[in-house]
Amino acid sequence: MVFSSAISLFFFVPIVFLLDRRLSNVDAKNTWLLLASLVFYSFGQVYYLPLLLLSVALNYVCGRLAAGKYAKLGVTLAVIGGIGLLAVFKYADFAIRTVNALCGLSLPLTGIALPIGISFFTFQGLSYVIDVYREPQMVSHSFKKVLLYIAFFPQLIAGPIVKYHDVEQEIDSRRTTPQETALGIRRFICGLSKKLLLSNALGQMADTVFALPAGEIGMLAGWTGAICYTLQIYFDFSGYSDMAIGLGRMFGFHFRENFNYPYTATTIKEFWRRWHISLSGWFRDYLYIPLGGNRKGNARTWLNRFLVFFATGLWHGASWTFVLWGLWHGLFSVLEDCGAIPVDKLKGKRIGQLYTLLVVVLGFTLFRADTLAQAGAMYAAMFSGIGLHWLGTAAVWAKFTPAFALTLCLALLLCTPVAREHTPKRESVTFIGSLGLLLLCMMYLAAGSFNPFIYFRF
């Protein structure tokens, strides 16, 4: 997927934006943005464009049914269809490999390529139908509007997951101002900088460590790789979310925030209120609450938590490493809820932040590992890898240049809300800073070194 990268967005956006500004009628703008979004997706995987259109058509029809006397049929078909698409295109080979391993069989794999963004556009479509089932008056009778809502290119590939009622009015009527456009451009540049200048550099160190042979990963290399990946995935994904939010604002759409400094959380429950907020909200509204939430006693509440985190892990990828990563977070969420971990003594305190970061770093080590064996080797190195592991130590020190040390310090600083407040007096500084970041990004792109966004594969 070459086109749907930071590089392609960098050059694709100005063309779409300038032509959008030439149109005065909102219907014409919607048509143009829809065409641009379909072209954007086609350059990544044109052969899966019909699948995207089929998914949207299914949700459109089911939405119409969900708003009428066949409401239960509509929402049932949408859930079966959406989960069915994921089962075939994302989880079929995972299921076959699991059966083969458990039963000693050699069933052939399907070899089906994963459609770009299927987890995001499937969940977004399902949220539309379920919301219409709950509130029939919000149904849309325009297939074009539903298609634009789901396929709008800024958030199509990697979110954030947007609810229809959040953008419904802006699809029908929106206005853009120079101030809003400027804010959107700066937000886009901020996100692009997170990806190119921070995430990619941190990712190179993480990739170096995770590529080492198991016996050559010492304690230094293990913790360096784990911490760098924890920072990499944050700046990678929050960077894309910033880009999507900024692009949306440039075109008159206001998407909700998807990250709120999650590494400052002092409990795991707080972490999930700050990390990938749109996905956490989706599972809360469409799985946790329908399962009963916390209304049916402690045992049922804890079971519901585990089910939600199991689904969260599986949503991220067809691998047991992702599933166990989700259950790892579910375990600590339940331990906090039942009082086994003294939440009251952790909230708002430094020790709580250290506890949360330890859980998160260990979890992302499992998330990043290609296999459970690799995760086990990393954990063994992190907690017992004392000794001279020459290959691992040399690999880390070779990457630990002054430029990398500066990047690491900057990344750690920017995980905290040091620059949250924006005042009119700082507007000129922000503008100059944005230009400087843009120039650095252009220089980085000119060097021809780029890693795809991590969440493109989910």
Residues annotated as catalytic are: 316
d(CA 321, CA 297): 30
Q: Determine the Cα–Cα distance for residues 87 and 84; give it in Å rounded to an integer.
A: 5
Cα 283 to Cα 291: distance, rounded to the nearest angstrom: 11
Measured between alpha carbons, how far is 91 from 300 in angstroms, rounded to an integer?
27
Question: Using a CB cutoff of 8 Å and minimum separation of 24, what contacts does 283-291 make?
Answer: 283/308, 283/311, 283/312, 284/308, 285/127, 286/126, 286/127, 286/130, 287/311
For residues 154 and 337, give the distance between their C-alpha atoms in angstroms, rounded to a whole number.
Answer: 37
36 CB neighbour count, 10 Å cutoff? 21
Contact status, residue 122 vs residue 215, Cβ threshold 8 Å: no
Q: Are 86 and 119 in contact (CB under 8 A)?
A: yes
Nearest to 416 by CA among 274, 204, 306: 274
**What single-letter DSSP state applies at residue 232?**
H
CA dihedral 270, 274, 278, 282 (to 10 degrees): -10
Helix intervals (H) in 339-421: 350-368, 372-384, 390-399, 402-414
The SS3 of residue 333 is: helix
